[in-house]
Amino acid sequence: MTEIAQPAPPDGTPPPPVTDSLGEVPVAFQDPGYRAAVVDLIGAIAYGEISAFDRLAEDARLAPSLADKLALGKMATVQFNHVEPLLARITALGAEPMQAMAPFVKPFDAFHAKTAPSNWLEGLVKAYVGDGLAADFYREVAAFLDADTRDLVIASLVDSGHSDFVVDRVRRAIERDGRVAGPLALWGRRLMGEALSQAQRVVAERDSLAALLAGGVDRPGLDLAALGRMFTRLTENHAKRMAELGLAS
């Protein structure tokens, strides 16, 4: 296992003990590598939500109607509302939230820069597919976490059922004019490709996250075969979402 830097407060004092909902220190956190990995993971999720908020708010400007604008604004707000509990957890783990998010600014910003929607429908498909993919991925990773962190991560994935709105709008657009389906299907494939490429870069650069997936004394790990199955599940779920939209994947 690669050596992992322990996140510490700027003044160099050791981080406070982490307690779970029963006030006990989970065994997992006795491993400084695990603590670093959880800080990284929560930092990534938090910045992911902030950047999704940012992009959804911008994409809302492409909305053809006030009702559509409102729906996308609502999706943006739901994402943002998840951020505070995540940052509070990073602080409780003895790390500084802005520092914890910093390594993920570039990859998320790069993803969004490379996948800026050129129209309203592309924005909708991106919101639906991107959100779904991120949620699937974090849900997979959550299996390797202590119970409290897992609950926090799962809670941050709640989307308040706005998916129905996206599915409805995209399907109706395709019904009106079938020619939009081809380019949107290509768009979905590009989104998946960019997301995977950024995710791989993140895991490659952050040893702690790679170590998290490898498991620990009291936590299950993931061998190469299991990792392959995980990617298969992610791809299958992506295909299901595209089908839901009426698009080939």
Cβ atoms of 15 and 95 closer than 8 Å: yes
172 binds a copy of itself (CB under 8 A): no
Name the CA radius of gyration of the chain, rounded. 19
How far, CA to CA in Å, does 138 sit from each of 27, 46, 130? 22, 12, 12
141 binds a copy of itself (CB under 8 A): no
| Nearer CB in complex with a copy of itself: 53/128 | 53
Specify the 3-state DSSP secondary structure of 216: strand
53 binds a copy of itself (CB under 8 A): yes
Q: Which stretch binds a copy of itself (CB under 8 A): 67-75, 116-124, 134-142, 175-183?
A: 67-75
> Is 30 exposed, middle or buried (CB count within 10 Å of its CB: 0-12, 13-18, 19+)?
middle
Find the binder of a copy of itself among 15, 20, 69, 142 (CB under 8 A): 69
Find the binder of a copy of itself among 26, 32, 73, 103 (CB under 8 A): 73
User: Smallest gap, in angstroms, from Cβ of residue 127 to a copy of itself?
Assistant: 15
Cβ neighbours of residue 196 under 8 Å, at least 6 residues apart? none
| Nearer CB in complex with a copy of itself: 53/165 | 53
Q: Which stretch binds a copy of itself (CB under 8 A): 16-24, 98-106, 120-128, 182-190?
A: 98-106
Find the binder of a copy of itself among 2, 13, 21, 65 (CB under 8 A): 65
Cβ atoms of 123 and 131 closer than 8 Å: no
Size of the site for a copy of itself (CB under 8 A): 25
Helices (H), the chain: 32-59, 66-81, 83-92, 97-114, 120-142, 147-155, 163-176, 181-205, 207-214, 224-244
> Letter for the amino acid at 118?
S
User: Smallest gap, in angstroms, from Cβ of residue 38 to a copy of itself?
Assistant: 19
User: Smallest gap, in angstroms, from Cβ of residue 95 to a copy of itself?
Assistant: 14
Find the binder of a copy of itself among 22, 66, 113, 217 (CB under 8 A): 66
| Nearer CB in complex with a copy of itself: 46/213 | 46
| Nearer CB in complex with a copy of itself: 87/209 | 87
Nearest to 206 by CA among 18, 44, 61, 78: 44
Report the 10 Å Cβ neighbour count for 236: 12
Site residues (vs a copy of itself, CB under 8 A): 47, 50, 53-54, 57-58, 60-61, 65-67, 69-70, 73-74, 76-77, 80-81, 83-84, 98, 101-102, 105
